[in-house]
Chains A and B, each alone.
Chain A
Amino acid sequence: MKHFEVLGTGCKKCVNTAESIERVAEELGQTVNVEKVTDPAKIMEYQVMSTPAVAIDGKVVHSGSIPEHGKIAGWFES
C-alpha cells in the first residue's frame, strides 16, 4: 500500500488535495493511506515551496496546486 503525504499548512486546497487522492483511490479500488502534514519543519525538510504538495513514500511528486484527476490516477499505476 502506498503512503501518501499531503504537505501544506492547512489551507482549503490542501484538504481538497487529500480528498481527491482518496476519491481516486476508491474509484480504482485501491486502499490508500493519506496523511496531512502541516508541521512547517517537516515541509521544509521536503524542500517544498509551493503548497499543496504531494509526496509518495517520502518522495515529492507534485507541488503548487491541487493535482488533476489523471495525474493522481497515474500515481497508482506505477
Chain B
Amino acid sequence: MLDIFTELASWLAYELLGLDPASKLGTSIHFFIEDTTKILFLLVVMIYVIALLRASMNLERVRSYIQQKHRLVGYFFGSGFGAITPFCSCSSIPLFLGFTSAGIPLGITMAFLFTSPIINEVAVIMLWSLLGWEFTLAYIVIGMAVGILGGMILDALKGERWLKDFAAKAYQRAALEPQNHKHDIEVPEAPKMTMAERHQFAKDELNEIVGRIWKWVLIGVGLGAALHGFMPDGWFAENLGSGQWWSVPAAVFAGLPLYSNATAVIPVMESLIIKGLPVGTTMAFCMSTVAASFPEFIMLKQVMTFRLLGLVFIILLANFMMVGWLVNAISPWLFSGF
C-alpha cells in the first residue's frame, strides 16, 4: 500500500521535474519526496487513531498502577508506560516528583523517563515505514531494556541518596506511611468519555504533535536525503563498517551534543544503514541523540544533585555503548536484510 508514495515521488521527481534517476540530485529529491509524504500521511492517521484509544489514560492512573506492582515488575511497567503515555518533556519534573512523593523507587521513575523519549508512537510509525517491522521490534525491545536496566543500576547504587533534599524527604515520608501499602492502592476509574470527547482529544493531540514535529521531519528527511544522494556508497564500510570497537563510543559521543527528537533522527538512521553503517553503531548514535540531551539534564538538576546527575549520565552512556556492541555482534543473525 505504501508503494503509492514511491510512485508519487518517481512521478514528481523524474517526470514533473525532469530529474535524472541516476544523478545525485535526482536520488536525493526522490528520497525526500517519498519519505516526507509517506511519513506525514502515516503520522496524521496513526496519531489520531492512537490518541482516540488512549484518551482516558492519565498519569494518576499510571502511577497507582505502578505502585501496586512488585518492585521487579515495576521497572518493566515504568519503562512500558514511559513508552506509551502521552507526555511532554516539560512535565518531566512534576512527574518525577509525583512518582517520588508516592514512594515509587527512583529507578522505576527513571525507567519511565529514560524510555519516554526513545519510544513513542511517532518513532515507531517512522521506523516501521522506513526500516521494516523486524528493526522496529528490535528497537522497542532495546529501548525498553535501556530504560529498565538503567533504572535497576541506579537503584542498585542507591541513587536516591543524592536526590535534592526536598525530594529525598518526600520519598522517605511516602515510604514510611503505612497506608501506602501496595494492596490498599486502588487505581482510579478511567474517566467516562463520549466519542465526541475522544474525537476532540485526538484532534487536539494531532494538531499539537504534528504542529510541533513537522519541521523536524523535514530537517531529518532533508539530512537523510542529502546523505542518501551525496555520500559515496561504501564510505562507511571502508572507514567504519568493519565494526572497529571504537566506532560505537565514537557514535555515542557524536550523538551527545546533537539534541533532537526521534522524528528527525530516524530518516538519518535509514540513510546511514543503507550506506552500510553497522546497525548497532547507528542505533547507539540515535539513542544518544534522542535520550541524552542537555535541556533534559538541566531540568533534572532541579531535583537531583550533581552527583546523581553524573551517575545518570554515565549509566546512560554505558547502556548506549552496550547496545551498540551487542547489536553489532548479533545483527548478522537478526537482520538478514541489511
Contacts from A to B (Cβ < 8 Å) = 7-14, 40-41, 43-44, 47-51, 53, 64-65
Contact = CB atoms under 8 A, between A and B. Distances in A.
B215 to A, nearest CB: 15
Given A9-B93, A13-B90, A49 B60 contact: yes
Nearest to B63: A49
Nearest to B101: A44
A44 B63 contact: no
Q: Give 6 nearest A-B pairs by CB, closest first.
A: A11-B90, A49-B98, A44-B97, A49-B59, A41-B166, A9-B93
A34 to B, nearest CB: 19
Contacts of A51: 90-91, 94
A44 B91 contact: no
B88 interface: yes
Nearest to B100: A44
A50 B97 contact: no
B97 A43 contact: yes
B58 A43 contact: no
A41 B168 CA distance: 11
A47 B101 contact: yes
A48 B302 CA distance: 16
Nearest to A41: B166
A49 B170 contact: no
30 contacts: A8-B90, A9-B90, A9-B92, A9-B94, A9-B299, A10-B90, A12-B90, A13-B90, A40-B97, A40-B166, A40-B167, A40-B303, A43-B93, A43-B94, A43-B97, A44-B94, A44-B98, A44-B166, A44-B167, A47-B101, A48-B98, A49-B59, A49-B91, A49-B94, A49-B95, A49-B98, A50-B91, A51-B94, A53-B94, A64-B58
A9 B303 CA distance: 12
